[in-house]
Amino acid sequence: MTQHTSQNRSMVREAMRAPYLERDEEHELAVRWIEHGESKALHKLIAAHMRLVISMASRFRNFGLPMADLIQEGHVGLLEAARRFEPAREVRFSTYATWWIRASIQDYILRNWSIVRGGTSSNQKALFFNLRRLRAKLSGGPDRRPDSELHAEIADAIGVSLQDVETMNARLSGSDSSLNAPVMESDSGNTTERQDMLMCDQPLPDETVGRAIDAERRKRWINSALKVLSDRELQIIRERRLSEEQVTLEALGQSLGISKERVRQIESRALGKLRTALLAELPDGETAMI
């Protein structure tokens, strides 16, 4: 038996022997600790509520983590509750501490249940800790309901998307798998690992760099070509072709004091001048880039 296990069993036995506290006594101990920093009062307050920690930890024993570790984490939450408790609010310490104990245990489970971090939002945490219970509750009865129907009802009950429920259900149904786990072995003796079969839809690094270089080159060519335009032509091209919100011919005509047909003619002439300038700038064989 390890020293760690022995200490935890001793903690459980001591918790079971600790007397219950009446409301007035609990309040007095909290005041002595919070207002006067009396460590003896803190120890007595904590000892009297360790059975609450053990009870709370037992509710999460089905997640496959050591009970001793859950109790230790609950004890951390109990200490945090004692640090933050305000006796003046006239709330029982056990009521206040319950939230901190549960939160500490749940955070420990989320950190250690899987190597993949999950349940980062409040809705995701609620889904993680309630999915199995809700599935068992909703699937009761002689007729087996399809998973799609169950998952849709769970999503509505918790307030998450159907995709979140299906993803979490898949995670809870299986265990972590190493990317280096062998999947198959060829006749030549070469082993294919799981990571070898993963597909990435992102461009390769050399493609990303190439696109960035091409974009910068096109920007430089366009800026050079724009210099051949007159001020009015440049304004029309910027408003009609280079702006996120394209201005209409009529609006530009009113702004410049000319008809929209005249704006169209100037725009067409400016585009022709730009194309000529760009063709003069481009190296041979790169006309497809404009």
Tell which wins on pLDDT, 114 or 29.
Answer: 29
Q: What is the pLDDT of residue 286?
A: 54
What element of type H or E holds 191? Answer: strand 191-193
More confident residue, 119 or 29: 29
Residue 100: the pLDDT is 94
Angular region, 190: left φ>0, alpha ψ -120 to 50, beta rest: beta
Question: What three-state secondary structure class fits 182?
Answer: strand
Which of 178, 63, 74 lies closest to 110 in space, CA to CA? 63
- 104-126: average pLDDT: 72
**pTM: predicted TM-score of the whole model, two decimal places:** 0.51
Are 231 and 270 within 8 A, CB to CB? no
pLDDT in tens, 33-49: 988 889 999 999 999 99
**Is residue 16 within 8 Å of 51, Cβ to Cβ?**
yes
Give the model's confidence band at 118: pLDDT under 50 very low, under 70 low, under 90 confident, else very high.
low
Residue 285: pLDDT above 50? no
Which domains occur in the chain, in start order? 3-112 (1.20.120.1810), 122-173 (no CATH), 205-289 (1.10.10.10)
Those residues with Cβ within 8 angstroms of residue 33's Cβ, 6 or more apart along the chain or in another chain? 39, 41, 42, 45, 82
- Burial track 5-36 (b if 16+ CB lie within 10 A, e otherwise): eeebeebbeebeeeeebeeeebbebbebbbee
Give the residue, 289 or 281, on which the prediction is more confident: 281
pLDDT digits (tens, 9 = 90+) for 152-203: 877 777 777 777 777 777 666 655 566 677 777 766 767 877 777 777 778 8
Q: How does pLDDT run across 196-235, given as a tens digit for each residue?
A: 777 777 888 888 888 889 888 888 888 888 889 999 999 9
Give the DSSP per-residue string, 113-157: S-SS----SHHHHHHHHHHHHHHHHHT-SSSPPPHHHHHHHHHHH
Report the alpha-carbon distance of residue 183 to residue 67 in Å, rounded. Answer: 34
